Chains A and B, each alone.
Chain A
Amino acid sequence: MALSGVEIFKLLPKTNCKKCGHPTCLAFAMKLAQRQASLDSCPDVSEEAKKILGEASAPPVRPITFGAGDKAVKMGEETVLFRHDKKFVNPCAFAIEVKDTLSEAEVSGLCEQVVSSEIDRVGQKLRIDSIMITNASGDAAKLEAAAKIVAAKAPAVPVIINTENPQAAEAAIKLFADKRPVLYGANASNAEAMAAIAKNNKAILGVVANGLEELSALTEKVKGLGVEDMVIDSGARKAKDIIEHNTLIRRAAVKKNFKPLGYPVINFMQREDSLHEMLLAGVGITKYASIIVLSSIEKWKNLVLFTLRQNIYTDPQVPMQVEQKIYNIGEPKPESPFLITTNFSLTYFIVSGEIENSKVPCRLAVMDCEGLSVLTAWAAGKFTASKIAQFITESGIEKEIATKELILPGYVAILSGSIEDKLPGWKVTVGPREANALPAFLKTRTA
């Protein structure tokens, strides 16, 4: 069972020496309890404490870093079944399958697609994370040849080698030995050989079995062979089975702390129909996959998958924020109304939606208040007269509008006087408290 922070604290040296990077042993203990720190960071912890804490503080889903350098992907560390309970931690990786039966040009082409797949969405860089090289030919030499092209054309991209043949695996994986690749798939009949290769090349081992019972036995066996880092595949390929297996795996890990299934999950989603493949991948994103293998990565499809992953992995505790700037709604003219609100995205969506409903073109200034709603931001000292005045002044909006009039949310009517003091020449008008009163408010103004 997991120990509480205070219970952990009792086992620490209590010297507050700060070597772990935390100000006190208590603060470090609290981080351990939240599974946000590793016991290794404290050099002075006793052997006895290590034994007790090691078990208790191990995350339910093993943290594993796949790949190396800038493009490495973190996996595992998940603690919940539902995103509203607590943030899903490490967004799943998308891998494109590259078969070794393809021509050199085709392999290079796919590598290029991966390298250029990166887009920027609401401040995050999103991309196809990985390439899976599959030994579809059954020929070890062909796998190695394809792997060489990938290593040359997409050198920074984390790689999965997919073969059940240990000889083929060995030759290909060597090319990525210092880059934390995944070697897939160890099964009941080749586990010893594959485990040895994974160990020698510091690879993460992809373990595949038929069903969860077999899978649990196999991960135990592989662990016994000295491989700790695994990604697991229950063999599920149909959407229905993927939901079932992924759910049961996550439940076993999180609710029962069942170690044999406490690893990141890899799902194979390749389908003829690209749109269908995308929807299937969506099932994986929402339901606990850590690596999703795709057969094609069209731009429209990537955009959908990146966006869904971003949505699902948003921290429900951190209010979603929109960018601080002045948004045009409709096509405002110099004399159109000018409103202000905070950058809590729900506030923004609702306010801008109501302005749209009103059909009155407007400018809406959205101010960075760390994603708090209007009243909360005011109380927290983030949406104050001087900060609003500074934002308006620095925005340079004065030059674009005919009358210097600012419409303030009704909840902070109290600020109107002092904003006027700080923004000479401006008139501040108090708008409605609730957004749904905006259409009527805006229409009577223009009438």
Chain B
Amino acid sequence: MLIIGEKLSIIAKRVREAMMKKDKGPIQEIATRQWKEGSGMIDANIGPAEDGGEDLMQWMVTTIQEVVPLPICLDTTNASALEAGLKVHNNEWGRPLINSTSNDPERFPILELAAKYNSQVIGLTVGKGGLPADAEERAGIAAEIMARAMEYGVPLEDIYLDPLVLQIATSQDHAVKVIEAIKMFQEMNDPPMKTVVGLSNISNGCPKHVRPILNKYYFLMLMNAGLTSAIADAHEMAEALNEKKLLDDVLAGKEIDDAAKMKEIKKTLDVIMGNTLYAHSYLEM
């Protein structure tokens, strides 16, 4: 399981301010922590970055790789910023990963970059306008992306298929559909296709104390389905792995000693699998 450390995102206030001021301190501190906690790659999300995206991405890549011997997941919709980042990426520490191409024609040229710089690339299974309705539609889009990758000369081994995790608080039925999609994606090639998710989106919009619980058990469910990597908080995922046995026991119908834990797992599974309707207070019901 490859964990791609998620904390360096422009959405986070502290990171955004550091990016604006080109203040290396907070960026390097967060990257280092993610590395120590078990990340195998660091996500650098600079947003759409219309102005000065090239500069910003190069600065991010070099700033991170100055202190952390890991490859970078370059996360932006701005193609020239991606290219700039790829140019300075230190491949000694592993090949970079582009986040992302998709079935939206605006994102096709990203594959050209992947081929040119021998980079790996995430294929987000969404098209233009509208979200995929179910696992089958996601698999259908995945097949299109795979065909296009072959055209552009990107080997299928370099593609990470991303089924797009949606918020459980507003799109609960997709939690299960994403798990199904992860299973389907693997079957679509031999050797199996690699997969990735932006994990914490599952709990986006949920109360603070609920978020880690949802993140952890959802991660474990995806792992059981064969997930190969996740953009996630490495610390949280390490905790999740410690609880894997508990979850597997509950899934197998076994009793576990910690009754409170067992309730928490069962209720969370019910919400993830769509057996009960999600509400912010679901753990209290």
Residues of A within 8 A of B (CB): 4-6, 9, 16, 22-24, 26-27, 29-31, 33-34, 36, 86-87, 315-319, 370-371, 378-381, 384-386, 414, 418, 421
**B42-94, CB < 8 A from A:** 47-48, 50-51, 77-78
| CB<8 Å pairs between A and B, sample of 23 | A4-B136, A4-B187, A5-B136, A5-B143, A5-B184, A6-B184, A9-B188, A16-B147, A22-B147, A23-B151, A24-B147, A26-B188, A27-B143, A30-B136, A34-B136, A34-B137, A319-B130, A370-B128, A379-B47, A380-B48, A381-B106, A384-B48, A385-B51
Q: Which of B16, B128, B134, B140 contacts A31 (CB 8 A)?
A: B140
Q: Is the CB of B16 within 8 A of A414?
A: yes
B146 proximity list for chain A (CB < 8 A): 24, 26-27
With most chain A CB atoms within 10 A of its CB, the pick from B129, B132, B150 is B129
Q: Which of B47, B50, B132 contacts A317 (CB 8 A)?
A: B132
Asked if A4 meets B184 with Cβ closer than 8 Å, knowing A34-B137, A87-B133, A421-B51, the reply is yes
Q: Give chain B nearest CB distance to A78 CB in angstroms.
A: 14
Q: Give chain B nearest CB distance to A393 CB in angstroms.
A: 16
A33–B135 CA distance with the chains assembled, in angstroms: 11
Q: Give chain A nearest CB distance to B167 CB in angstroms.
A: 10
Q: Is the CB of A5 within 8 A of B50?
A: no
Q: Is the CB of A6 within 8 A of B188?
A: yes
Size of the B side of the interface (Cβ < 8 Å), in residues, is 31
0/1 per residue, B121-159, Cβ < 8 Å to A? 000000011111110110110111011101100000000
A380 proximity list for chain B (CB < 8 A): 48, 77
A381 proximity list for chain B (CB < 8 A): 48, 77-78, 106
Q: Give chain B nearest CB distance to A80 CB in angstroms.
A: 10
Q: Is the CB of B184 within 8 A of A371?
A: no
A16 proximity list for chain B (CB < 8 A): 147
A386–B47 CA distance with the chains assembled, in angstroms: 14
Q: Is the CB of A86 within 8 A of B50?
A: no
Q: Which of A29, A33, A370, A414 contacts B129 (CB 8 A)?
A: A370
Residues of B within 8 A of A (CB): 10, 16, 47-48, 50-51, 77-78, 106, 128-134, 136-137, 139-140, 142-144, 146-148, 150-151, 184, 187-188
A107–B187 CA distance with the chains assembled, in angstroms: 60
A318–B132 CA distance with the chains assembled, in angstroms: 9
Q: Give chain B nearest CB distance to A195 CB in angstroms.
A: 36
Q: Give chain B nearest CB distance to A248 CB in angstroms.
A: 25
B16 proximity list for chain A (CB < 8 A): 414
A370 proximity list for chain B (CB < 8 A): 128-129
Q: Is the CB of A318 within 8 A of B130?
A: yes
A26–B143 CA distance with the chains assembled, in angstroms: 6
Q: Give chain A nearest CB distance to B200 CB in angstroms.
A: 14
Q: Is the CB of A30 within 8 A of B143?
A: yes
Leading 4 A-B pairs by shortest Cβ distance: A381-B77, A23-B147, A318-B130, A30-B140
A9–B134 CA distance with the chains assembled, in angstroms: 19
A16–B148 CA distance with the chains assembled, in angstroms: 12
Q: Is the CB of A318 within 8 A of B136?
A: no
Q: Give chain A nearest CB distance to B165 CB in angstroms.
A: 13
